[in-house]
Amino acid sequence: MIKNSIVGFPRIGQQRELKFALEAFWSKKISAEELQKQAKELRLKNLEFQEEAGIDLISSNDFSFYDGMLDTIVLLGAIPKRFSDISDELELYFTMARGDEKRVAMEMTKWFNTNYHYIVPELSKSTRFTLNANKIIKEFQEAKEFGVNPKINLIGPITFLSLSKSVDGSDVYEHFDAVLRVYEQLLEQIAAMQIFVQFDEPIIVTDLNNEQKNYLLKAYEKLSQVSPNLNLIVSSYFDYVDKDVVEALASTKIWGIGLDFIYGKENLDNIQNIKDKYLIAGVVDGRNIWKNDMNSTLKLLDKISSTVQKERIVISTSCSLLHVPYSLKYEDKLDSEVKNWLSFAFEKLDEVSLISKLFHNDVLLEKDNIAFETNTKANALRKNSSKIHNEALQERLKSFTDAKRSMPFEERIKTQKEILKYPSLATTTIGSFPQTDELRNLRSSFKKNKISQEEYENGIKKYIDECVKIQEEIGLDILVHGEPERNDMVEYFGEQLNGYAFTQNGWVQSYGSRCVKPPLLFGDITRIKPMSVKWITYAQSLTSKIVKGMLTGPVTILNWSFVRNDLAKKDVAKQLALALNDEITDLQNADIKIIQVDEAAFKEGYPLRKSKKDEYEKWALEAFKLSVSSANAKTQIHTHMCYSNFNDIIKTIEAMDADVISIETARAGNKILKIFKEVGYKQEIGPGIYDIHSPRIPSTEEMTSQINALLEIFPKEKLWINPDCGLKTRKWNEVVPALKNLVKAVKIVRGD
């Protein structure tokens, strides 16, 4: 009897082994064979961890060298034409993800409302699909040889098609029959294995139209009849699934349906007609790091079992554990009280296992009883901890009700242009410059007390000196200080705020080899002292050109942190906004004339359901406006947004009332910008003209062409020219020539 399962497991390794292996391979320090060897070791370790924890349904094919959607593109043979001349499979795979000198990488965007990125499939009328099951078969056999009978994880056909983009204007669902046939061929090929197959269909937690619902039903009616040897699971996560969709799936011959009861509480009302299917109940939070409250979870399961037969309920995580760090094992510097509230991927395996035993009335060992008692005690202590609540902050927040700028944009911008005197097509960057090994070692040595404060600060100043000098030599109009003091755009600020804690090894994959270490926002937020003024003013002292102040916005800090689950997000965002409001006051008083408040994650925080959108927009907008409300009319406020389709939020962007917005659009093309023209967007804008996620260096001619294309959408007086995101992940030998080409292109267009 299957009693528990895991949607998926992290793949980067306990010490980011995959990251370092990938980067060594890309820099030709290790061979493809060595990369494959290290990857296999990671996969087998993951199987071992899950087996030892007592997980019944362990996944294979949840490992990826870069991204699961990219793996699915390869599985289906949906390779864009520009890559078709690459014969080596690994070279093809990484070139699609990263591009090369001749080919632009495939577009990358956020996976639903998470900070994980996926590669966007490109489809056209000419796309042909052919099965390539090599990876799936290899990893399944690998698991069998290890001694595990795993389920195979796949991204489902409806999610694949819904998240694909058409490159020729055709309907991506024209490919439904062809795509479904490849999935059928795959199931036919593995049918002899007599296994479980998990189809991840997170798209079904969004507002599906009738066409999508019909395709969903047709897909699983067909797939569930391929072979009686296969037990198919359709897994959803991140929100709730409509009642009629659950019923449609229940009418097919699939084995089980996975529902998220953490972020989709409405699922409780939608499971009445689940019939004879197994319910994979997502009751352990796969997206956050707080210890499960097992007493509350067992009460929730009792409610579920009043509708679904108890023996048909499989205890699971709410989503893949890809979204949380590996283990608390290496966290020996965390405050012991805070650490006692936490649960990472390894610990969640034990939670799933123990909840399964408790719910299904299995025999408990002494260690199980101790673990349950420890869990109960930890949750009680957290609720009453003095570390969490700040009464003085609560009183101060009451006085901030309707914060906004003191002057309308049209009047502000006139004042700013007179004072700042920047040209049309002003050139700048988004903020960060390359994070070199020397810089990382400097910060690490300082944290470990291997060097003095003076040595550390001298090292930071040296970097800023060089950074300003390079920008001046390149000829950029508006400069940045390069952010050498910042390990991460959220963690840096969190380190200077009360209410935050930090891990040593709490890494989470963002994309490919890129990992982030989200801080832990556990209590009320207050600013200890000015956070950025020292280094911004130092950089400004080096040049007569304007240096931007660089802050991370409240919504992005929130969305890129692991956030406390005992307070509404809108209230946490307001606390963060108040701290940033104080910081802007200090920067302004230090004569910093342009301040960028990055809201890179503003869009990704949107709920997946339209019914929840208005509430999010209201508090997110209020938080940003509160942050910048201390800026006077002469101070120009910039913001930056990543990976966004702006059509549905353009009015909200306008309402943010920033003076300039820069946006990440290089991989997506200019089509998404036309909405700004259609609505008569009045603020100034800096669409990224080249992709910083690829090592390729665009030519002056390419950038000139891109600027001219932008001028067909925006007047030159409103247009800023910049890369599409920060440059911290690139190397100097990529950054300098790219920016030189950017400035040359602007001069050509200006006629300088």
- The residues that are catalytic are 693
Neighbour tally for 281: CB within 10 Å: 30
DSSP 4: B
Give the amino acid at 600.
A
Cα–Cα distance between 427 and 689 in angstroms, integer? 11
Give the amino acid at 704.
T
Going by their DSSP bridges, the two strands 231-235 and 196-200 should be labelled as: parallel
Helix (H) or strand (E) holding 684: strand 684-687
Name the residue among 301, 314, 310, 220 with its Cα closest to residue 268.
301
CA angle 476-625-660, nearest 5°? 25
Q: How are strands ordered across the β-sheet holding 196-200?
A: 59-60, 151-155, 196-200, 231-235, 256-260, 278-284, 313-317
Residue 111 near residue 160, CB atoms below 8 Å = no
Q: What is the secondary structure of 185-227 as a DSSP string? A: HHHHHHGGG--EEEEE-GGGGS---HHHHHHHHHHHHHHTTS-
Strands (E), 517-671: 520-527, 549-552, 562-563, 594-598, 636-641, 660-663
Name the residue among 590, 365, 331, 374 with its Cα closest to residue 481.
590
What do you get for the CA distance between the two ends of the chain, in Å? 75
Cα–Cα distance between 609 and 604 in angstroms, integer? 13
Alpha-carbon separation of residue 746 from 426, 532, 700, 702 (angstroms): 8, 31, 9, 12
Cα–Cα distance between 612 and 609 in angstroms, integer? 6
Residue 524 near residue 389, CB atoms below 8 Å = yes
Residue 281 near residue 313, CB atoms below 8 Å = yes
Cα–Cα distance between 102 and 83 in angstroms, integer? 10
Cβ neighbors of 260 (< 8 A, separation 6 or more) are 205, 236, 237, 238, 239, 240, 267, 282, 318, 319
Per DSSP, what are the bridge partners of residue 197?
A: 152, 232
Cα–Cα distance between 203 and 234 in angstroms, integer? 11
Q: What is the secondary structure of 332-380 as a DSSP string? A: -SS-HHHHTTB--HHHHHHHHHHHHHHHTTPPPPHHHHHHHHHHHHHHH
Neighbour tally for 728: CB within 10 Å: 22
Q: What is the secondary structure of 88-116 as a DSSP string? A: SHHHHHHHHHH--SSSPPPPEEESTTSS-
Residue 525 near residue 576, CB atoms below 8 Å = yes
Per DSSP, what are the bridge partners of residue 595?
A: 549, 637
What are residue 398's phi and psi, to 5 degrees? -65, -25
Cβ neighbors of 429 (< 8 A, separation 6 or more) are 471, 476, 480, 722, 723, 726, 727, 739
Cα–Cα distance between 686 and 709 in angstroms, integer? 13
Give the amino acid at 5.
S
